[in-house]
Every structure is written in C-alpha cells, then in structure tokens.
Homo-oligomer: A and B are copies of this chain.
Amino acid sequence: MIILTAAMVTAGFFPVQSQVVEDFKPASSNQPGKAYPMVNSEGRVRAQIMAPDANYVKLDIGGVKYDLVKDESGLWTGESAPQDVGFHYYQLNIDGASVPDPGSMVYFGACRWGSGIEVPSDDQDIFALKNVPHGHVHEIFFPSASTNVSRRAFVYTPPGYTKELSNKYPVLYLQHGYCENEFSWPTQGYANLIMDNLIAGGKAKPFIIVMTYGMTNDVAMGGLRNFDIKPFQTVLTEELIPYIDSNFRTLANQENRAMAGLSMGAFETRLVTLNKPDVFSYYGLFSGGVYNADDLKEHKNLKLVFMSSGSKERPDGVRNAAAALQAAGINAVSYVSEGTAHEFHTWRRSLHQMAQMLFR
C-alpha cells in the first residue's frame, strides 16, 4: 500500500503527467470515429497508438518530440506540452520511422500529406460548418501553355452562384504558403466555410475565391533562395485569370480583383502586385512582408492594403507599415492574431478580417 502525502506530491514524486488537466476530447481534425489524438483545455495533444513490439514511440509536434509510454497491452500513450490554439502539423515517430498518425485526417503542409491537429480556439465558430447557405468549391483543371500541363485550382463560388445566373462577382486570388499547396486554403484554411458564415451574417459581400498551386517552378526542391516569381506570375496573370474570367461569371476588372497570400504566398502577392500594378485593387499580406509607401506610388486604383501577423510573430512590423502607409494617404490596415504564431489559425483569422473589407 502506498501512502501519498501533499509533501510527496509537491516534491515532485509524480511524473509530469500528474500536472496534466484530464479533460481531453477527440480532436475535431480526427478521422471519422477515431478517439485519438485528443486535446485538452490546456492545448496539450495526447496521442495513442498500438505498437506492441516497438522500442519507443514519440509524438513529434512543434519541433519537439514527446515520449509516449507503453502499457501492458502494447498501447502507447503520451502528450505534448500546451500548443497554441489553432492548427498544427505533426507526426508520430515509431522506432525512428516518421509516419502519419492513423487517427488523424490528412492535410498537406510541411511539404507532405500528413497529420494535423486542431487545438480549440474561442473563435473557431468562424469556420464551423453551420446550417447556412453554402457556396461550392470547384476543383478545376485549367490549361497552362507556359507549363504545358492542365493545372489544378479550387474555386469557391458563393451561395446562390449556381442559381442566380445573371449575377457577376468580384474575385480574390488567395495563395498558400511554402510547402503547402492548393488544398491548404480549402482544407485546413476553411476558406469556404469562413465565407459562407460571413455572407450568411451579412458581414461580407459575396465574391469568388481562386486558390491554385503557387510553387510553379518547383521551389520546394531549390528552396526559397532561388525563388523566381516569373513562372507563377505567368500562370496566374496570363493563364488562370483569363480562364476564370471566361469560365466564371466574374466582374473582370481591376476594381473587382484582389490578391492575398500567407507567408510565401504573401511574398508572391507582393511581387506580383508590384510587377503588375494594374491587375488588382486589394492587396493582402498574411504573415509575409509589408509594403512601403514608395512601393505603391504608381498604384492608381489601389483600394486596400491589408497586412497581418500572429502576435507570436513580429506584429510590430505590420503595425508600423500600416501606420506609414496611412500617413502617405493609402488605405492600409494591420491585423494581429492574438496568441498565435506562423500557423494556419493566424491566416484563417486574417482572411476572416480582410474578407469583410473587400469590394466595398
């Protein structure tokens, strides 16, 4: 029989797990019917997998590997330190093999299709699937002479698009980040549900969103150092935009066209809008650089510059840049996502904010 005393507990006789709040629930990012991984109110991720003959199993999340512990049945269980609210890529490591967690849905990020986990946030309602009118996400393949293939894009059309055939709509071109792809915004980004909810609440004008693959020149292989905007700019401005304007009911002019992106997609947005000052009227940089007033001197039809950052990135950059642009007479806005870093919840919130300002 073991007698416990308060002194023993506070003296650290118990392992770190005893400090974990035991209110874990299955993650919303799990495969249907899967109990693990779980998340608790502290944002800890608890993973579990049956691996009776393994020597060790680790949960690899946020750049840290956490040891799982084996029970007598061969089931390994363990949890991470608290994670920021929002979405994180992760994997399991079983005896040195890095593999997806069979409990998680699969998401493209970190240059791979792999596991992801949703840590609940108090504003996750912005991307909840509700009983409101829903737009459609079209998977399209558009011809691309410059790359000699049919290229994929996802096109969000707002509720009513397929019914009210006389309406025409503005368009936002929205780019993913480095080592993500065209699935990232409509999957872990929930761009479609964010829009459905905003439109249902009367908070955003209905518009089309176009999401395509931005790493046209295989930048994944060469690294960002060798990044050349030309191949993607050609696909976007000479192939994709004309295809969208001829296949969807768009308002096909600068005043009704926006471009935004996250991280590398912000970098691309900045380069494309600076190279092509007559194509877009709304610019959005989510966690990726800023404009200065000199950059934008020739931008006659500019309606909005939106720059955002997680509070755990370097938020003063976007705040200062927006203030400087405002001083130069440019309609610039900065947005800081509280409690998040360089991750998708920052960018969902950024889209949610920017969408309310577009095409007004």
Contacts and interface: CB of A to CB of B under 8 A. Distances in A.
A94 B129 contact: no
Contact of A95 (B54, B105, B140, B141): B54
B113 A31 contact: yes
Nearest to A115: B100
A201 interface: no
B136 A140 contact: yes
A52 to B, nearest CB: 4
Interface string A95-109: 111111110011000
A95 B134 contact: no
Contact of A97 (B54, B114, B163, B221): B54
B130 A134 contact: no
A32 B105 CA distance: 18
Contacts of A131: 143, 149-150
Nearest to A162: B247
Interface string A150-167: 100001000000110100
A55 B106 contact: no
A242 interface: no
A28 B57 CA distance: 30
A96 B130 CA distance: 40
Contacts of A165: 165
Contacts of A220: 32-33
B114 A102 contact: yes
A74 B94 contact: no
B55 A53 contact: yes
Nearest to A112: B31
Given A94-B97, A131-B143, A140-B134, A248 B150 contact: no
B95 A95 contact: yes
A262 interface: no
Given A55-B53, A136-B139, A150-B134, A100 B97 contact: no
B100 A102 contact: yes
Identify the interface centre among A55, A138, A165, A247: most chain B CB within 10 Å of its CB.
A138
Nearest to A248: B162
A92 to B, nearest CB: 7
A39 interface: no
A97 B94 CA distance: 8
Interface in A82-135: 91-92, 94-102, 105-106, 112-114, 129-131, 134
A21 interface: no
Contacts of A33: 220-221
Complex A-B, nearest 4 residue pairs according to Cβ-Cβ distance, in ascending order? A51-B97, A134-B141, A53-B95, A54-B95
13 contacts: A31-B113, A51-B96, A52-B95, A53-B56, A54-B55, A54-B97, A92-B99, A94-B95, A105-B113, A106-B113, A131-B143, A136-B138, A136-B155
Given A134-B150, A163-B247, 17 more contacts: A31-B113, A52-B96, A53-B56, A54-B96, A54-B97, A55-B55, A92-B99, A94-B97, A100-B106, A105-B113, A106-B113, A134-B140, A136-B140, A139-B139, A139-B192, A162-B247, A163-B246
